[in-house]
Structure 1
Amino acid sequence: MSMKGLERAIQNLNSLSRLIVPEATAKALNRVASRTISQGSKAVAKEATVDDNRKKGLPVRLVRQRSRLRKARHDRPVASIKINRGNLPAIKLGTARVRLSRKKGARNGAGSVLKIGPYTFRNAFIQQLANGRWQVMRRVGQARYPIDVVKVPLETPLTVAFTAISKRLIESDMPKELSAALKNQLRIHLKR
């Protein structure tokens, strides 16, 4: 009786497709990579500071849309995340409104406050650049010095968060995801 069971198990194993393990690996990699993007975006959005009022936090969608996932396939078992680590222009934070200063001696809008959503930018203004885009600008120093685009620094937070979270998820979640994907592939294949 046990020999028949053993022979049946060997037949089942021989009949399995050679793509079961690579497909399960690809599915597990894609799930862990998408979880990395989700958790990394939330962490960066929560910790990012914006300009002089140092208000913490950004909308998560602004951070999440800066990362792209190239999914793994059974013939290419590598999931890669491409992240735009450039600084975020302040104009992307929402609709802008200006609160003018009525102080004596304030000329050319000096002392005015530009609010974009819940964020405050002192001595900033909106201007259309030569390339046709509208940006939030601010003088770098005294009046004779040039102006510069106001940006939210994201390079360091994105690098640190995504590196730490990806390492943690590969160690903790990858074995669980891989075993679940293998069980699912076996279930699908043995049903046929």
Structure 2
Amino acid sequence: MYTPSQYLSLDESLLLWKGRLSWRQCIRTKAARFGIKSFELCEAETGYLLQYRMYTGKNTAMYPGPLHGFNDKTAKVVLQLMEGYLDTGHVLVMDNWYNQLLLTRYLKSRCTDVLGTISRRRKGIPHAIKDLNPKQLERGVSVGRHCGDIALVAWKDVKLVTVLSTYHQH
């Protein structure tokens, strides 16, 4: 009965767990560094949890077969969490662990825009961005390219940051 706002956020979370588990995780950037990992889809405005999936280990068959034609485990996590939210005009905000050009194009074809950071080492990134040398760039310098209907911008802050977007407001 709840209708989320336009912006959705996808990330992983860690539930503090001090017991023994074969699939207990350590994520040093989280407040609870050791625990049970989950992938979560939240409404960005309120933080309301819409969907989640527990991570049960690298060798488990969390998603056994292809999902919407994707065999990549990361893409399957995104697509399963977005089930029921595609084709409704949402903007999905993700970090570079989830973002990839092929998945972004698929989400765009399903009326879902994508916004977030992306690794320059990902497949299909234009050479003008992939081959940038962070040591040769001064702070504040940016390089932008279009890859079809996807905009990519890399700029030098403290580090070189690359952002991907299919969402363009008028």
TM-score using structure 2 length: 0.21
Does 1 or 2 have the higher relative contact order (CA < 8 Å, sep 6+)? 1
TM-score using structure 1 length: 0.20
**More strand by proportion, 1 or 2?**
2
**More helix by proportion, 1 or 2?**
1
CA radius of gyration, larger in: 1
